[in-house]
Structure 1
């Protein structure tokens, strides 16, 4: 598997992470034996990298990594100080509101302590299909733009479940009937959550950097089926 490189300089590399690829080995994914993103990048570029932030294994999209371990903290400060803009796209069950703020706390899986979490959700497109999904005769979906201002584990997946618009393809927090329909009707088996862009001021060069990652091919299939005029 070749990883798409979106940006590179002397300090960092930004890539388009595929669905279903772990960034690195962890206790939570101890049963997964496939190559991690770090493994794949080291084979591809003959260089070790250090993650600056994280994406869930099933989430695709923009991911930044440092070339030197000592630079990780410098770039992480952008996330800690909320001076970096992160934009995600998701396909969810139901008709989402045009715009809303979700500010439900999210539980840390290690400490079991709830922490404040905030996500801005904007609906871009909606559709109703004549395809029955239990318990209804028709099914409804929305394409949403998600902008988290905090970075809790599984935050977006939990928040969309909280407002009754779970992400399609999410088998932990989602709706299994709609997940199954996407698999049988459209042959789409991945989580529909994509880190579309990052925008920040580079702490070394002081340049404004904006990086956008193309969507996986499943999204093009769905946009064509749903007649959503959105550039993949």
Structure 2
């Protein structure tokens, strides 16, 4: 599997993580399974440190570092909310613009919840011919998402709580809608993408911003179903 490097220097590397690729190995994976830190280590010939989380089902920008010292500095930046993270997602309905601030569970099968905050902005909404159960001509929206905290599946939980399930979410989402879309388009993925990261370089202090292009599948699905469009801001795929 090829990993696209967006930026690299002697201290860190920023890559565009493919969808359905775990960041690091876990006990449930086969011994020969691919994971990001191993692939990037093989690509660079360096030991790789992971400094923030990106779910295996989420594609997009992630920063990895080459030393424990830089890992410590970058981890602090994330903890102190000095890193600006932007995502894009395709969701059910039209959430508009605002902030989700309900508490979310902290891990799978847990009932313990912590405060979380997710800002969002709807960029494009399409009316579709998708109808099932009590729903008719279901709307789909492309949204820009700016999480202000970093809880487990925070973005996915917040949109599901508000009945704006992220398309392709097999854990929190609308399973009937997911099946209909995958059957129609043959696209099977979580429609959540880490679009950009902004932070000051942990060594030089230089202001950095990195972007990963929106996956083509996002535009393909919206265009496939669109029977009418209420567009706030167009984003090309």
Give me the TM-score of the superposition, normalised by structure 2: 0.90
Q: Partners in 2 of 1:168 and 1:54 — Cα distance?
A: 21
Q: In 1, Cα distance between the equivalents of 2:202 and 2:46?
A: 22
- Residues 1:150 and 2:176 aligned together: no
Within 1, Cα distance between the matches of 2:84 and 2:115?
Answer: 18
Stretches of 4+ aligned residues off by more than 4 angstroms = none
> Which residue number corresponds to residue 134 of structure 2?
135
Contact 2:86 2:195 in 1 (8 A): yes
Q: Is contact 1:101-1:119 (8 Å) kept?
A: yes
Q: CA deviation at 1:31?
A: 4.2
- Within 5 Å, give how 1:57-72 maps onto structure 2: 57-72=56-71
Between the two proteins, the alignment pairs up a number of residues equal to 229
CA distance in 1, matches of 2:155, 2:190: 12
Partner residue of 2:16?
16
Contact 2:70 2:203 in 1 (8 A): no
1:192 CA displacement: 0.2
CA distance in 2, matches of 1:131, 1:13: 42
| SS of residue paired to 1:41 | helix
**Aligned counterparts, 1:97-136, within 5 A:** 97=96, 99-109=97-107, 113-136=112-135
Structure 1 distance, partners of 2:89, 2:30, is 25
**Which runs of 5 or more residues in structure 1 are unaligned?**
none
Aligned to 1:94: 93
CA contact 1:106–1:152 (8 Å) conserved in 2: yes
Q: Secondary structure at the match of 2:190?
A: coil
Question: How far apart, in 1, do the equivalents of 2:130 and 2:222 lie?
Answer: 16
1:231 to 229, 233, 236: 236
Kept in 2, the 8 Å contact 1:19–1:58? The answer is yes
Q: Partners of 1:170 and 1:39 in 2: how far apart?
A: 26
Range moving further from structure 2, 65-74 or 129-138: 129-138
Counterpart of 1:77 in 2: which secondary structure?
helix
State the SS of the aligned residue for 1:177: helix
Do the aligned partners of residues 32 and 86 (structure 1) sit closer, same or farther apart at CA in structure 2, a change above 3 Å counting?
farther
Question: Unaligned stretches of 5+ in structure 2?
Answer: none
Q: Normalised by the size of structure 1, how large is the TM-score?
A: 0.92
SS at match of 1:203: coil
- Superposed counterparts of 1:8-47, under 5 Å: 8-27=8-27, 30-31=28-29, 34-47=33-46
State the SS of the aligned residue for 1:230: coil
Task: Identify the range of structure 1 (5-14 vs 107-116) with the bigger mean alpha-carbon deviation.
Answer: 107-116
Rounded to whole Å, the distance in 1 between the matches of 2:130 and 2:112 is: 40
